[in-house]
C-alpha cells in the first residue's frame, strides 16, 4: 500500500476529534444509567462539560488555527480542517443538546424527588426572595463591577470560561451616556450554587443559582435606567501555550510569562442562555471573532461543571457510590519494611482498588532512611498538596542526592509543577526539565540504598501519575522492583534526561522516542508471522487512545494474517475494526464506569511465551516520537498472571459497562443476556479492596 494512502485515507482511519466526541457520548450515557447513584449521574454530566471545555480549548482551537493558517495537509482520516470543523460542530451541538435535556428532564426532576431542589427565580416564595435579597446586598453587591460600554469603556477582556452577563439598557446615566449595553462579570470566588437554609427553601437541600441571584437584582447596578434584558454567557478560549522553540533560553521563565496570558487566548466557543436574543448573540460573536457554528445556546446554566460542587454539600450517602477501603497486598501487610519486601520479590499495586499509600510510604521511608543515598523521580502531574513532593524535599534537606525531572509542559499543570520545582531547588535538589521539545511522560522513581557494603537500586514504575487524588479515581498499575537489570535501565533513562550523549541500549525497557515504536511494530509483526505459520497468535492491548497511523496499518496487516486482536481503548480510536478484508479479526471495546480507565497493558502471545508489558504511553504519535516514555516487561510469572487476571480478562468479559466499536466509529452498548451481569470494576473492587485475596 502506498504511503499517501497509508497516511491520509477515510477508508483506513477515523477522525480523532469525532472520536473524542463519541467518547463523551459514552460518558454522558452514564448520566442516564439508572443503576448509577443519582448524585454520581450528576457528576457524569459535569465530567462531560469539563471534557468539552478542554476539547474546545485544545483540539478545536488547534483546528481553527489550521483553518486560519490555510493548512492544506489533511489529517490521517483525509478530512481537511474545514471539513473536520464542520462535522465537529454538528456532533458537538447534538451532544450538548442531549446533555441539557438529560439534566432538565431526568436528573433534576429525580433530584427534586429526593429533596435536592434547584429553585428557579420565577418560583421563589416571598421568604426565598427576601433571603436572596439579603444575600445579594451582603455578599454580591459590594464586589460587582458593572461595565457600561462606550468609547471610554470598550468591551472588556473576559477570562476564559468565566460567567458573565450582557445587560440591555434603556435611558441615560448621570453623565448622559446611553450605550444600551453593559457587561457584568460574576466573581469567580463565589459558588455558582448557593444553599438556602431548609426553613427558607422548604426542602432539605435547596439551592439557588448565582445567575438567578444576579438576574433578580442586576438592574440595581444601573439606577435610573430601565433594564430590557439580562443574559448569561461564557466564552471558551484557546488555552495552548505558545513557547517559541527557537528563542526560548529559560523554559521556566518563558512558561511563567505565558501562563498569565492563557486566560485571554482567542475565542473558540460562545455559550449563551437560550433566551438570549439573536441581536445580542450576534454582538457577542462579533466581539470574540466567532461565527454561528461557534455558538451554543443552552437551556440551563452555561457552565455545568460547577454542579460538581453539589454532591459535596449534600449528605446523602445513599445517592453516591458506596465508599470502599483500598486494599494492600499481603506481602506489604506482612512486611512494613518496604525495601525488605521488594527484595523478596516484585510488588504489584493495582489502583484504585489497592492503595496508593505504599508508593508514598516508599518515598517517605527513603527520605528518612540513613542508608539511602540518592533518589531520582519524574514529575508529570502531581497534586498541589503532594506528600510525595514533600518527601523529596525532606530527603534533600537530609542531605541525600535528590534529582527531580519536572515536566513543565504538562498541560494545565504547568503552574503547580513550576511551584514544586522552585521549592525543590530551594532545598538543594537537582531539578531538571527533561529534554526540551520532548515531554517527560514516563512514570519512574529510583532509589539508591547502601546495603552490605554495596549500592542497591529500587525502582517504582507505573502506568499513571504520581498524583494522590487521581490514584483514587484512575485505574493504574504500579510495580515496585529491585530487579538489577530493570533498575539499571531506569538509571540509564535518568542519565539521558539529566545529561547529554547518545542513548545507550536498554536491556529490557522500551523507550520513546527511540525504541518503543519499532519494538511495538516488531511484536505485532512477530504475531503475524506466527499466524501465517498456522499457529495461534493473539494480541491484547489496553490503553487510553489509539491514533498512530503506521501502527494501525501494522495491526491491519496482522489481522489479515489471522492474528486475533482485542483492543480495549477507553477514549479515542481511529482504527476501523471489523472491516471485511481489512480488520475482521480486530475487536475494539471501551469501558466507561465509576473509575477512569488509565492502565496501559500490552500482551503478545508469542508462541506461548506470553510477553507482557506495562507502560506510560498510549499508541499515539506524540507518545512514540515526541515524549520520553517507557514500557517495561513483566518477568515474574505470578505477577504476569495477576495482570492478565485483573487488567485484561475482566474487561474482555464485561457486559455492563462495555461499549463495542463499530466500523463507522460509533459504539454499541454491550447488552447483558440472562442474569449473569459482569462489571469489570465491580469485580475488581470485590476482589482487591479492603481484603486482598492473592
The SS3 call for residue 583 is coil
Considering 215, 350, 351, 441, which one is annotated as catalytic?
A: 441
Look at strands 474-481 and 347-351 and give their pairing. antiparallel
Look at strands 193-196 and 205-209 and give their pairing. antiparallel
**228 assigned to a ligand binding site:** no
What's 389-458 look like in SS3? HHHHHHHHHCCCEEEEEECCCCCCCHHHHHHHHHHHHHCCCEEECCECCEEECCCEEEEEEEECCEEEEE
Look at strands 538-543 and 510-512 and give their pairing. unpaired
The SS3 call for residue 277 is coil
Q: How far, in Å, CA of 198 to CA of 301, rounded?
A: 23
Q: What string of DSSP letters covers 674-693?
A: TT----HHHHHHHHHSSS--
C-alpha dihedral, 486 to 489 to 495 to 500, nearest 10°: -170
**411 assigned to a ligand binding site:** yes
Q: How far, in Å, CA of 4 to CA of 18, rounded?
A: 22
* Beta strands, E only, 106-152: 116-118, 147-148
Q: How far, in Å, CA of 313 to CA of 517, rounded?
A: 47
Q: Cell numbers at residue 627, please?
A: 515524549
- The number of CA neighbours under 13 Å toward the Cβ of 121 is 14
605 is catalytic: no
Provide CB contacts within 8 A for 392, sequence distance 6+: 363, 367, 375, 377, 402, 404, 424, 429
**51 assigned to a ligand binding site:** yes
Q: How far, in Å, CA of 245 to CA of 254, rounded?
A: 11
Distances (CA, A) of 377 to 418, 483, 490, 694: 15, 18, 10, 29
Q: Which neighbouring-strand residues pair with 183?
A: 147, 166
Q: How far, in Å, CA of 87 to CA of 667, rounded?
A: 18
Distances (CA, A) of 410 to 14, 17, 422, 542: 27, 21, 16, 23
**570 assigned to a ligand binding site:** yes
Q: How far, in Å, CA of 123 to CA of 303, rounded?
A: 22
- By CB neighbour count within 10 A (0-12 exposed, 13-18 middle, 19+ buried), where does 571 fall? buried
**651 assigned to a ligand binding site:** no
Annotated binding-site ranges for Mg(2+): 381, 411
Just list the catalytic residues: 441
Annotated binding-site ranges for ATP: 51, 474, 570, 598
Annotated binding-site ranges: 51, 381, 411, 474, 570, 598
Amino acid at each position: 500500500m502506498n504511503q499517501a494512502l497509508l497516511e491520509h485515507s477515510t477508508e483506513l482511519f477515523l477522525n480523532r476529534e469525532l472520536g473524542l466526541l463519541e467518547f463523551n457520548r459514552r460518558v454522558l450515557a452514564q448520566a442516564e444509567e439508572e443503576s448509577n447513584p443519582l448524585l454520581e449521574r450528576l457528576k457524569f454530566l459535569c465530567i462531560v462539560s469539563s471534557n468539552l471545555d478542554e476539547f474546545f480549548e485544545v483540539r478545536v482551537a488547534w483546528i481553527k488555527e489550521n483553518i486560519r493558517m490555510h493548512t492544506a495537509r489533511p489529517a490521517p482520516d483525509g478530512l481537511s480542517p474545514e471539513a473536520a470543523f464542520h462535522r465537529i460542530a454538528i456532533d458537538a451541538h447534538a451532544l450538548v443538546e442531549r446533555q441539557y435535556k438529560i439534566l432538565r428532564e431526568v436528573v433534576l426532576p429525580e433530584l427534586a424527588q429526593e429533596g435536592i431542589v434547584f429553585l428557579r427565580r420565577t418560583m421563589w416564595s416571598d421568604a426565598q426572595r427576601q433571603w436572596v435579597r439579603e444575600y445579594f446586598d451582603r455578599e454580591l453587591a459590594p464586589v460587582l463591577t458593572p461595565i457600561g460600554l462606550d468609547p471610554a469603556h470598550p468591551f472588556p477582556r473576559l477570562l476564559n470560561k468565566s460567567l458573565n452577563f450582557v445587560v440591555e439598557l434603556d435611558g441615560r446615566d448621570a453623565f448622559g451616556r446611553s450605550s444600551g449595553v453593559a457587561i457584568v462579570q460574576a466573581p469567580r470566588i463565589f459558588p455558582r450554587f448557593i444553599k438556602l437554609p431548609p426553613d427558607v427553601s422548604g426542602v432539605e437541600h435547596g439551592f439557588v443559582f448565582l445567575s438567578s441571584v444576579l438576574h433578580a437584582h442586576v438592574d440595581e447596578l444601573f439606577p435610573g435606567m430601565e433594564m430590557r434584558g439580562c443574559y448569561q454567557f461564557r466564552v471558551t478560549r484557546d488555552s495552548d501555550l505558545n513557547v517559541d522553540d527557537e528563542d526560548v533560553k529559560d523554559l521556566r521563565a518563558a512558561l511563567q510569562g505565558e501562563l498569565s496570558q492563557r486566560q485571554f487566548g482567542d475565542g473558540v466557543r460562545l455559550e449563551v442562555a437560550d433566551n438570549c436574543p439573536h441581536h445580542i448573540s450576534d454582538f457577542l460573536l462579533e466581539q470574540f471573532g466567532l461565527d454561528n457554528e461557534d455558538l451554543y445556546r443552552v437551556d440551563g446554566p452555561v457552565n455545568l461543571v460547577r454542579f460538581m460542587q453539589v454532591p459535596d454539600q449534600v449528605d446523602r450517602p445513599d445517592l453516591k457510590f458506596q465508599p470502599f477501603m483500598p486494599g494492600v497486598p499481603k506481602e506489604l501487610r506482612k512486611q512494613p519494611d518496604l525495601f525488605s519486601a521488594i527484595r523478596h520479590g516484585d510488588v504489584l499495586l493495582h489502583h484504585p482498588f489497592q492503595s496508593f499509600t505504599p508508593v508514598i510510604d516508599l518515598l517517605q521511608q527513603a527520605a528518612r532512611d540513613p542508608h539511602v543515598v540518592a533518589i531520582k523521580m519524574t514529575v508529570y502531574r502531581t497534586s498541589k498538596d503532594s506528600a510525595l513532593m514533600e518527601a523529596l524535599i525532606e530527603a534533600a534537606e537530609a542531605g541525600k542526592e535528590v534529582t527531580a525531572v519536572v515536566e513543565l509542559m504538562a498541560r494545565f499543570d504547568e503552574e503547580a509543577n513550576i511551584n514544586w520545582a522552585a521549592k525543590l531547588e530551594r532545598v538543594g535538589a537537582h531539578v531538571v526539565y527533561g529534554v526540551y521539545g520532548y515531554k517527560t511522560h514516563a512514570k519512574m522513581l529510583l532509589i539508591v540504598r547502601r546495603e552490605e557494603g554495596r549500592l542497591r537500586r529500587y525502582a517504582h514504575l507505573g502506568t499513571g501519575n504520581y498524583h494522590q487524588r487521581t490514584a483514587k479515581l484512575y485505574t493504574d498499575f504500579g510495580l515496585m522492583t529491585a530487579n538489577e537489570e530493570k533498575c539499571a535501565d531506569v538509571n540509564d533513562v535518568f542519565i539521558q534526561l539529566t545529561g547529554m550523549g547518545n542513548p545507550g541500549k536498554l536491556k529490557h525497557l522500551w523507550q520513546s522516542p527511540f525504541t518503543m515504536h519499532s519494538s511495538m511494530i516488531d511484536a505485532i509483526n512477530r504475531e503475524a508471522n506466527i499466524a501465517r505459520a498456522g499457529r495461534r497468535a493473539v494480541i491484547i492491548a489496553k490503553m487510553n487512545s489509539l491514533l498512530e497511523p503506521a501502527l494501525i496499518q501494522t495491526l491491519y496487516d496482522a489481522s489479515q494474517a489471522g492474528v486475533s486482536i482485542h483492543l480495549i481503548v477507553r477514549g479515542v480510536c481511529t482504527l476501523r475494526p471489523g472491516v471485511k478484508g481489512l480488520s475482521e479479526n480486530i475487536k475494539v471495546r471501551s469501558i466507561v464506569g465509576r473509575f477512569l480507565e488509565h492502565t496501559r497493558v500490552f500482551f503478545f502471545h508469542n508462541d506461548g511465551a506470553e510477553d507482557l508489558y506495562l507502560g506510560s504511553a498510549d499508541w499515539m504519535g506524540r507518545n512514540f516520537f515526541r515524549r520520553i516514555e517507557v514500557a517495561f516487561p513483566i518477568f515474574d510469572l505470578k505477577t504476569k498472571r495477576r495482570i492478565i487476571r485483573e487488567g485484561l480478562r475482566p474487561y474482555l468479559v464485561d457486559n455492563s459497562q462495555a461499549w463495542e466499536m463499530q466500523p463507522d466509529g460509533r459504539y454499541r452498548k454491550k447488552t447483558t443476556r440472562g442474569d449473569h451481569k459482569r462489571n469489570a470494576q465491580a469485580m475488581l473492587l470485590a476482589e482487591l479492596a479492603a481484603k486482598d485475596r492473592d
